Amino acid sequence: MSTSQKRKISALDDGVDLHQLNSVEQYTIGWICALPIESAAAAKLLDKKHSEIPNVPGDNNSYRFGRIGGHNVVIGCLPAGRTGLVSTAIVAQQMKQSFGNLRLSLMVGIGGAVPSTENDIRLGDVVVSQPHGRYGGVVQYDLGKTRPDGEIERTGSLNSPPEAVLTALSKLQTTQEMEELPMQKHLEQLSALMPRYSFPSNLDDNLYRPDQRHKIGAECSSCGSDGLVERGIRADESPVIHYGTIASGNQVMKDGVARDRISRELGGVLCFEMEAAALMNNFPCLIVRGISDYSDSHKNDGWQRYAAAVAAAFAYELLMHLAVTQVAETQTISEAMAGFSQRIAQNTETARRTEQKIDQKDNREILEWLSLSTHFSAVQNATYDARMSGTGKWLVEHDRYLSWISTPGLLWLNGVAGCGKTLLSSKIIDHIQRQTSQIAYWYFQFNSADTQNLTNMVRSLLRQLIRSEIPKSIRRFWAQHQENNSEPSTTELIVALSEFVRASTQPIYFIFDALDEFPETSSPGRSSLLAFIKQLVDSSLPFLHILVTSRREPDIKNVLGQVTSNIINIDSLIEIDVDQFVVAALDDDCLAKWGEDLVALAKSNLLLSGERRFRWADLQLKRLRACPTAVDYRDALDTIPKTLEETYHQALDTIDVAHRQRVRQILIWLTTSHRELRSVEVAAVVAFPFVEDVLKICTSVLVTVIDGDTTETIKLAHFTVKEFLIICHVQDEIMHWYNFTVGLAHRCITEQAVDCLFGTSDSPETQMLIDYASEYWPEHARRNDGTADWAQVQLKVNTVLEAKSRQAFIAWLRLQHPHELSYDPDVSFPLYFACLLGLRQSVAYFWQTSTLNLTRREGRFKKPINAAAVMGHHELISWITTELTRNWPEFHIGSLIDTPLVIENLQQSPGHVLLQILRAPWDPAMERYIVRAAAANRHGHGKEIIEHLLDDINAFQNIDESLVESASHNRYNATVLEALASRRATKFPVTLETLVAVVELSLDAFTHILGARVVDIELDGHAIVSLGEARNGLAAIQMMLNRGVVVVITDTLVSSLATSPFGSEIITLLMNDPKIEQNLTSEGVATIAGEFDLQVFIRFLKDHGCPIGESVKIMERVACNSYLRRPEFSHVSSSRKLPRRYRPTLERSFMRDITAAIHEIIGEISPWMARLMPLITEDTLALVAEHAEPSAFESRST
């Protein structure tokens, strides 16, 4: 037996039983674990422990040795942090090569259960692989070929456990049936030795429904109890053992829906894990899994140690039932693994395919995160399909349009309401789509709040532009918010969109239709949309073409007139399309059937009318189509209304007087609601049990029904209907029965919503309004202008907020503001909730009628004024400030508000809120706390907050280390630090601590600081090492070298770098810079020879040669060369014990590298070799031989 096949045990006895084992050949059972906690539980259960045996070269596994019953067992553990099929296969291969007499193996550890009605599996139970149905105990669920529908068709099969193991399993099950299995005794013994492996009685065993996703945090405290599955209570804590199929794959299963789906596809599995499939075909093995989670998103580490313990206890009992004679008769694993190399290749390919699928899944997840809405395309498809062929042809041939197509900039199409601008937009989009895929568009709609949301629009634009490969900047953007569990702000999204467009090398087209249907008075209002468009144009992005359509509203005209002169008024131009539309409709069989005379009369009346809008023409044609006789047809032609508005008045006058009040109420809701209303909700507004009755009393001229994918909605037929119905002031106009003001509409909706939520009615019709009322009643109530008409409604709102009627309100809080329930809402004053919801009239009422204590701490945000600020109610803050000034001049807003708390939680309108709360004299001592809060803002407003303070208050004139630390403490958000660095780079300190903090978080910020303070930066050895070990550190050092920062390579610098795992890379950077000077003695050269990657030393020799007098000493250092290598991953792991791939390693150089380096030395000193040879002693050669790999000296000529 060769040395590489046989290892001797150390003669030192450290108290373990050596049991006279001196050869690896005496071990017959392999026990494989994936995690250190699994290996620890196994090692503690050994009857006798054996001394460690040194690994043979090439075996990187961690082993424990011992005896269980009559079997000698070697326990092998996967490298820290490495899991999955390929890692397991490699561990098994190395174990097989080192222990040639292994005959059977066990894979023992933790897994995730698949609970079902058939298998009541609980945390702490045991699952054992046993042949069942079509599978041999284990199935690889992610191995197979992909069908055209994207599903995986599983191919091949995995072998069953060896016969000897199945025989032992049968014996154990017999013992189990006789209730004589002493597993609980083993667990008690293990708990006594390792208390952390005891039954975790302090943890709950909660099973959630598959579709109940984990919400936030490591624990499930925020997941609630609504999604829990009810299960019976077991009599005791003893683990239950389950036998059947285990599903194995390359990725962690943490999705309850996918878990159950895959289990059904496989005919029912008991457990998911990540290693077994690598062993079954070529490594005779039984899989034992202790259950630590339910393979869903609620998984955590709490049950893992106990699960490892129960798995180890079962495996121990199995070996006690395994006959030694049967093991001896079983072929060795080496004999069973003839095809192992092929299996490794298969698993590697499987891993590659799986990683590819994971990337594809990530891509889908990112795209869905950007925008799930397909509303933009639905509107485009419906509008384009409705237009008549040839419509808009004149536009695509217009000089201004052709100029815009070829030259970046903005084109504005304007016209009156109803003239056909949206039809033209659909034509333009189709025209551009036929030429390029780099187009994104958005339709604003007056009756859809989703389309009036700037954030939704920007997300959709990004989603439309990203067709295949997702840019790295978007991936980083997504990862940042995933890690931080946050949503991006509108500002962040606009920056991301601008960066995407700026990086483009081909034209990009943005189409925005109906800007005027974005409300001017909403928050943030149409001004924010216009500012966004102006910002895009002012940025002079080289390939960006923008087209907008709208009416000639003053605010739109003012902004767009500043950024473009490329404007087309379509009112007269589109008459061509209207005429073509009318003629084509009258020539259609439906209308042509009345004969040439009537058709000619219709053409004359319609085409000679002064009203030439598409909307008006379409309504007149519909009237004609509805005529049942020629007489009716003539009457319709004789009574054609002269204008679109007269058409609406005519339609409303035909409504039965008995129905008019209900119709008016429906129209109020349709014009003023904050989202589209489902048809059942519209019916509930007037207490109709049947939706069809709504359509009977409302003319189709005014409303339309949209049959969506999942719900049916009712909306106004056109934006012009809304304009016709709403009047500004009752006293200024003749009031028809159908007219109303915006204030009256909000009052009616507020009253009905409050009655629905907090009233006593529980009729089915009322219940249909609960969803809308729950989400939007405060927004309608905020529109109270304080007039007498609101008095009764406001009284109802105040009653809801008052403590004596708080029960229904608390139930509403549970839905809309659940965090408030943790702060005793029963004892909070009404004023706090009035401020939280931004109800100014309620605030005024409680301000006057309650005993004010403005410093009392209550609710989630501690004070009423904090709550108003956090929610963005800046007009309310302004009112409070005025009241304070008038009645309590000793108070000012700054002394009452908790500024850092507000800034950290600020959700809306940061600029407006900051203008209100920072009116007091600025206190520089607060800056570090405000910066930290801005960096922690979970709604993405940190950068906007800092920029406001920089621009409007001229803050941060003195930046110190503590302020930089505050700006950089949130490693997922660099925007605050970057904002400071871009405006105050000259104020930044350039201490080592500051530079490291900045480099770790943002190279962009570091670039600003470097540009402003480069002459003040000094680099010594300690500074270079500290920077080099930081994330982005190597890039930062290169940037400093490019800027001319002076570095001299000295003995001291080399000694410092030798202590760093990044030392070899840093010194290579320095040596690559032609401006770098070196002032090394032979001691420094020897350090490079012995303590850096030898490639560094060879490079040094070529550049600077070798000190002749010290060449022998340097060769000896080369022969002993070892150096620190950087960790595989540089990000900090979340586990308490750092896995190997996150730790630097001490590497010994290969003999071939040592030989190459010595050759280089000899080449450098060859002219002096005659004088050198007497100095090369046997000790020198022996030193080289001692540190070389044995295989390097198989050829003595080397």
| Per-residue pLDDT tens over the stretch 475-508 | 777 776 776 666 777 777 888 888 888 888 889 9
Would you state the pLDDT for residue 1196? 28
What length does the chain have?
1198
- Give, in words, the CATH class of 24-212+226-353: alpha beta
Residue 1043: partners with Cβ closer than 8 Å, 6 or more residues away: 1010, 1011, 1014
Cα–Cα distance measured from residue 85 to residue 127, given in angstroms and rounded to the nearest whole number = 19
493: enclosing H helix or E strand: helix 490-502
Q: Are 302 and 163 in contact (CB under 8 A)?
A: no
Report the sign of the C-alpha dihedral through residues 108, 114, 115, 120, in that order: negative
Would you state the pLDDT for residue 1137? 47
Cα–Cα distance measured from residue 854 to residue 842, given in angstroms and rounded to the nearest whole number = 16
Would you state the pLDDT for residue 772? 92
Q: Are 129 and 107 in contact (CB under 8 A)?
A: no
C-alpha distance across the termini of the chain, in Å: 27
Q: 81: phi > 0 → left, psi -120 to 50 → alpha, else beta; which?
A: left
Q: List the beta strands (DSSP E) in 457-542.
A: 508-513
- How many other CB atoms sit within 10 Å of the CB of residue 392? 24
Q: How far is CA 333 from CA 125, 153, 282, 893, in A?
A: 30, 31, 8, 78
Residue 1014: partners with Cβ closer than 8 Å, 6 or more residues away: 1040, 1043, 1044, 1045
**H helix and E strand count, the chain:** 56, 25
Q: Which of 531, 484, 364, 1196 is nearest to 911 (CA)?
A: 531
Q: How far is CA 892 from CA 765, 881, 916, 1066, in A?
A: 49, 7, 11, 55
Cα–Cα distance measured from residue 851 to residue 419, given in angstroms and rounded to the nearest whole number = 58
Cα–Cα distance measured from residue 1127 to residue 1130, given in angstroms and rounded to the nearest whole number = 6
Which token pair is 321? Answer: 């039932």
Cα–Cα distance measured from residue 378 to residue 793, given in angstroms and rounded to the nearest whole number = 39
Q: Which of 801, 808, 751, 806 is nearest to 780 (CA)?
A: 751
Would you state the pLDDT for residue 149? 41
* Topology (CATH) of 658-740: Arc Repressor Mutant, subunit A (1.10.10)
Domain 371-570, CATH 3.40.50.300 — does that match? Answer: yes
Cα–Cα distance measured from residue 836 to residue 838, given in angstroms and rounded to the nearest whole number = 6
**Beta strands 1122-1125; 1145-1148: pairing state:** antiparallel
Would you state the pLDDT for residue 1186? 52
Q: Which phi and psi angles does 1136 have, rounded to 5°?
A: -70, -40
Q: List the beta strands (DSSP E) in 532-605.
A: 544-550, 567-569
- As to burial, measured by CB atoms within 10 angstroms (0-12 exposed, 13-18 middle, 19+ buried), residue 315 is buried
Cis before residue 524, ω within 30 degrees of 0?
A: yes
Cα–Cα distance measured from residue 1114 to residue 1111, given in angstroms and rounded to the nearest whole number = 5
Q: 267: phi > 0 → left, psi -120 to 50 → alpha, else beta; which?
A: left
Q: Are 621 and 585 in contact (CB under 8 A)?
A: yes
- How many other CB atoms sit within 10 Å of the CB of residue 726? 17
Output the furthest CA–CA distance in the chain (Å, rounded): 128
The stretches of 587-718 forming alpha helices (DSSP H) are 589-592, 596-607, 614-625, 630-638, 644-653, 660-672, 679-685, 692-697
The model's pTM is 0.58
Q: Are 396 and 364 in contact (CB under 8 A)?
A: no
Q: Which of 1005, 1059, 1057, 1062 is nearest to 1030 (CA)?
A: 1062
Q: Which phi and psi angles does 520 have, rounded to 5°?
A: -75, -30
6: enclosing H helix or E strand: none
Question: What are the residue ranges in the chain where pLDDT is below 50?
Answer: 1-16, 18-20, 145-151, 156, 339-341, 343-345, 347-348, 351, 354-355, 357-358, 1131-1138, 1170, 1172-1173, 1178, 1181, 1187-1198
Would you state the pLDDT for residue 21? 56
